[in-house]
Amino acid sequence: MQRIWATETPQRVGERVTVAGFVHSRRDHGKLVFIDLRDRSGILQIVFRAGQTEGADPEELRGEWIIAVEGEVRARPESLVNPHIETGGVELLGAHLTVLSRAETPPFDISDENAMRNVDEELRLRYRYLDLRRPSVRERLRMRHETVAFIRRFLTERGFWEIETPILSKSTPEGARDYVVPSRLQPGSFYALPQSPQQYKQLLMVAGVERYFQIARCFRDEDTRGDRQPEFTQLDIEMAFVEQEDILRLTEELFTALIRKQFPDKHILHSPWPRLDHEDVMKRYGSDRPDLREHPEDPNELAFAWILNFPLFEAEPEDAPDSVSVAGLPPGKRYAPSHHMFTAPRPEDVVKLEENPSAVRSLQHDVVLNGYEVGGGSIRIHDSELQKKIFHLIGFTPEQEDQFAHFLTAFRYGVPPHGGIAPGLDRLLMILLGQPNLREVIAFPKTGDGRDLMMDAPAPVEEAQLKELGIRIQPKPTG
């Protein structure tokens, strides 16, 4: 007999069915044994009568054993209906029991959500495959899946193509530290894991794709925190022949439709979203990620806003770390991109690049939500001479500029105006699901210091593997 989900049983009253899953809990009542069976869909009560069950003995069952049960679905008496679960109006009268797998006692009680609040997080992460069995965690995974599925449908219906870009790429100076991967076939050379698909998506615009998106994995070797992980997922969007307004409108429509469909209990405070000037926001709030909620204690209130007119550069003292001397720039200054080096300046400010780069505003756009940045993007530079000018202003040496030779070569063959945005899915879901950190919305997250406790990573590799790659480990300097 084909197995069905637990939550299908309310439509199968009077039928003989087979269900399978984990023993969530067990209760003995004299000649009756009650088992709450848990599968991915939910929980179902199963009743075994003493001496009336074929196969295994129900009295031997323990928590987290995996079982299959065949029996008749019947309606519960009205006085015993459980309104708190989807299957609360039915139960399964077990006729045949099969034990598929026995389990040791878990290191924490999966069935008790209240007790789980006191379980050390590192213990949960070490046994993450058990933590993921909890209904509350499973529900977050389901909501993540449905969110991504909604985004895919929304963008596909609007003419976007989902295109995967490489994970093994080239290290280029774009901001955060790269994770590097040695090449066995080209000794002494390294790939880099992408901080974002930035160059690839712009090259797709050069290729004439026009509307691209990707649920992209990104990697940054940064110090972690509650809203940051070394590897994360972002929704990557790029569009050709657009202005900034087109990107803002699309993003706002996508998020609004997503929340109405997947998170109907949430209330978007302002529609359309406020558009705030970066300088004004910094003066008023002291932050470019203001929390604009009227009632911050209300978990269902969502205050989106756009932050616009960012400075194109952040000026830093010449003696700042990794500072460089740039010929022709004001003394004591160097310039770092406020967003990234491919962001276009506002057209009316281009003339200021020669005499006062600090005064140049950009076509960057950040979306903030309840005090977090949940996405950022810009209109990109599509003129090779302007791009070279930006490289010069941020102090690129000829050798550093050569690292982008592939990019500038592509620009010689025509580049449509283009731009995009990259909302962070983990951070967005963290807020929408009311979680305290990103780890609660990621299936297999890492700790605050970047460790995977379940897999015990990072870890040393064998000397033979290092030798094959031509790598020798040097002791880390002390003092």
- pLDDT tens-place string over residues 423-463: 999 999 999 999 999 999 999 999 988 999 999 999 999 99
The confidence score (pLDDT) of residue 327 equals 43
- Strands (E) across 257-312 are located at 267-268, 275-277, 301-302, 304-308
Is 440 annotated as a binding-site member?
A: no
The confidence score (pLDDT) of residue 7 equals 97
Indicate the domain borders of the chain.
6-101, 135-310+362-382+417-441
Looking at the structure, give the CATH architecture of the domain made up of residues 135-310+362-382+417-441: 2-Layer Sandwich (3.30)
Predicted model pTM: 0.92
Question: Which DSSP string corresponds to 433-448?
Answer: TT-SSGGGGSSS---T
Q: Token pair 């690129």 is at which residue?
A: 396
* Average pLDDT, rounded, for the chain: 93
- pLDDT tens-place string over residues 123-160: 999 999 999 999 999 999 999 999 999 999 999 999 99
Is 220 annotated as a binding-site member?
A: yes
Is 174 annotated as a binding-site member?
A: yes
Q: Does residue 309 come out as left (phi exceeding 0), alpha (psi in the -120 to 50 range) or beta?
A: left
Write out the two tokens for 230: 């070394």
What are the φ and ψ backbone dihedral angles of 418, each rounded to 5 degrees? -155, 165
Is 221 annotated as a binding-site member?
A: yes
Is 288 annotated as a binding-site member?
A: no
Is 385 annotated as a binding-site member?
A: no
Q: What CATH number does domain 6-101 carry, 3.30.70.1880, 3.40.228.10, 2.60.40.3950, 2.40.50.140?
A: 2.40.50.140
- Mean pLDDT across the stretch 361-375? 97
Altogether, the residues listed in the chain come to a count of 479
- pLDDT tens-place string over residues 174-186: 667 899 999 999 9
Is the bond preceding residue 458 a cis peptide, omega within 30 degrees?
yes
Is 229 annotated as a binding-site member?
A: yes
- Strands (E) across 380-468 are located at 418-423
Is 222 annotated as a binding-site member?
A: yes
| Spatial contact of 72 and 4, defined as CB atoms under 8 Å apart | no
Cα separation, 378 vs 367, in Å, equals 11
- Calculate the alpha carbon distances from 157 to 211, 261, 362, 377 in Å: 11, 16, 31, 22
More confident residue, 314 or 226: 314
Cα separation, 479 vs 470, in Å, equals 28
Is 204 annotated as a binding-site member?
A: no
Is 426 annotated as a binding-site member?
A: yes
Is 15 annotated as a binding-site member?
A: no
- pLDDT tens-place string over residues 384-422: 999 999 998 888 888 888 889 999 999 999 999 999 999
| Beta-carbon count within 10 A of 115 CB | 11
- pLDDT tens-place string over residues 99-113: 999 999 999 999 999
What's the sign of the alpha-carbon dihedral 219, 220, 221, 225?
negative
Is 214 annotated as a binding-site member?
A: no
Q: Token pair 């302002």 is at which residue?
A: 270
